[in-house]
Amino acid sequence: MTRWNEKDAQAWASARNWTCGFNFLPSTAVNFIEMWHRDSFDPATIERELGWAAGLGFTAFRINLHYLVWLHDRDGLLDRLDRVMGMADARGIETVPVLFDDCGFGGAEPEYGPQPDPEPGVHNSRAVASPGRARLLDESEWDGFLSYVRDIVGHFRTDPRVAFWDLYNEPGNRMIFRRDGADLHEPDFSGQSLALMRDSFAAARSVAPDQPLTVGAWSTPVAGATEAAYETEMDRTALEMSDILSFHAYLATSKVAAIIDKLDGHGRPVFCTEWMARPVASRIADQLALFRDRHVGCFQWGLVQGRTQTWLPWPADLVAAHGGEATRDVWFHDLLDRDGNPYDPHEVRALQAALPGRR
């Protein structure tokens, strides 16, 4: 297979309703290893929280897998993914699986097995990358990475429950949340990430999936930037290789609109696969209508307040770089508390009004 042409990509999009989705970790999982591990997989919580999501009106969810779970328990991961997609499908929710992820800002290398409890008061303190930065730099691991892509995509290549494949979350992202205020970046491994992204597209296409492929352009303009241009080789390559285009935008509405204008010029369907961070002006009240009116599918970050602690703010300097102010008085991400009650009922009403046919 080769990249879908623009006509086929637009025909795929025209046959679909507008996508309004969310990024998901169950409230009982501190990271994606804990979610998918055989000893901590929690189907009761997942089923309950997907039911809440359907009640809000969501039509899709984006969810990360993890290479280490596949490496140690391949059959178990496939079975659990099938079960979760079945729970979602029964509620009218499509799945967007994510295979790799460089956004390991908890700072530790991933380890298979029981995961540590969250660090008190710290946003997403146990987030780990997939496959992990040390493995990414180990050439002997490469064949395993590509076997993982071919296996997962191949297994579900004709499954209508999969909306599309997001092969790699934020490739090259070196951000980690250090606790001492020191340098927030690790040494550059973007060359390896770029190579793995390219190889992942080739590996996925080798099994001829029915669903389109994407990797999001994630290094979006922040405070003070005036243009919605993608200047990194990583972002340009992601856009050039994707069947449908995707991006991340924890930004004010005017900047998001400028990004959509820029991406519309490619003539392909567009999805925002991460957004919604209240203190940096990425809010449902301001942007949900923009996505709906421009027919840009969107996946806001977080659903239920839980072990990831993503209702707490990013570090103050990162919030400032996005034009906001770190505060614990306003939830950063997430929509519902642990009992399913909305943080802000106005947000729930906006979601339900945007998709009235879903209730």
The answer to whether 135 touches 193, Cβ cutoff 8 Å, is: no
**172 vs 166: CA distance, rounded Å:** 15
pLDDT in tens, the chain (359 residues): 899 999 999 999 999 999 999 999 999 999 999 999 999 999 999 999 999 999 999 999 999 999 999 999 999 999 999 999 999 999 999 999 999 999 998 889 999 999 999 999 999 999 999 999 999 999 899 999 999 999 999 999 999 999 999 999 999 998 777 655 555 566 788 999 999 999 999 999 999 999 999 999 998 655 455 554 557 899 999 999 999 999 999 999 999 999 999 999 999 999 999 999 999 999 999 999 999 999 999 999 999 999 999 999 998 888 988 889 889 999 999 999 999 999 999 999 999 888 876 54
CA distances from 214 to 99, 161, 166, 167, 238 (A): 11, 17, 5, 6, 7
In total, how many domains does the chain have? 1
The 3-class secondary structure across 193-254, one letter per residue, is HHHHHHHHHHHHHCCCCCCCEECCECCCCCCCCCCCCCCCHHHHHHHHHCCCEEEECCCCHH
**309 vs 49: CA distance, rounded Å:** 16
Q: Flag whether 242 is in a domain.
A: yes
DSSP 58-96: --EEEEE--HHHHHH-HHHHHHHHHHHHHHHHTTT-EEE
Side chain identity at residue 274, one-letter code: E
Which range of residues forms the domain containing residue 239? 6-358
At a CB cut-off of 8 Å and minimum separation 6, what does 104 contact?
110, 127, 128, 129, 132, 133, 176
CATH of the domain at 41: 3.20.20.80
Quick one: pLDDT at residue 359?
43
At a CB cut-off of 8 Å and minimum separation 6, what does 21 contact?
58, 59, 60, 61, 62, 93, 94, 96, 297, 298, 299, 300
Q: Flag whether 1 is in a domain.
A: no
Quick one: pLDDT at residue 353?
87
Quick one: pLDDT at residue 347?
96
Q: Flag whether 113 is in a domain.
A: yes
The answer to whether 36 touches 72, Cβ cutoff 8 Å, is: no
Quick one: pLDDT at residue 232?
87
Quick one: pLDDT at residue 358?
57
Give the predicted TM-score (pTM) of the model: 0.95
Q: Flag whether 245 is in a domain.
A: yes
**33 vs 211: CA distance, rounded Å:** 25
Quick one: pLDDT at residue 85?
98
The answer to whether 166 touches 96, Cβ cutoff 8 Å, is: yes
Q: Flag whether 187 is in a domain.
A: yes
List residues bridging with 60 in a β-sheet: 21, 94
Residue in the structure block whose two tokens are 């029981």: 114
**171 vs 193: CA distance, rounded Å:** 6
The answer to whether 234 touches 241, Cβ cutoff 8 Å, is: no
Q: Flag whether 122 is in a domain.
A: yes
Q: Flag whether 185 is in a domain.
A: yes
Q: Flag whether 68 is in a domain.
A: yes
Q: Residue 46's CB: how many other CB atoms inside 10 A?
A: 23
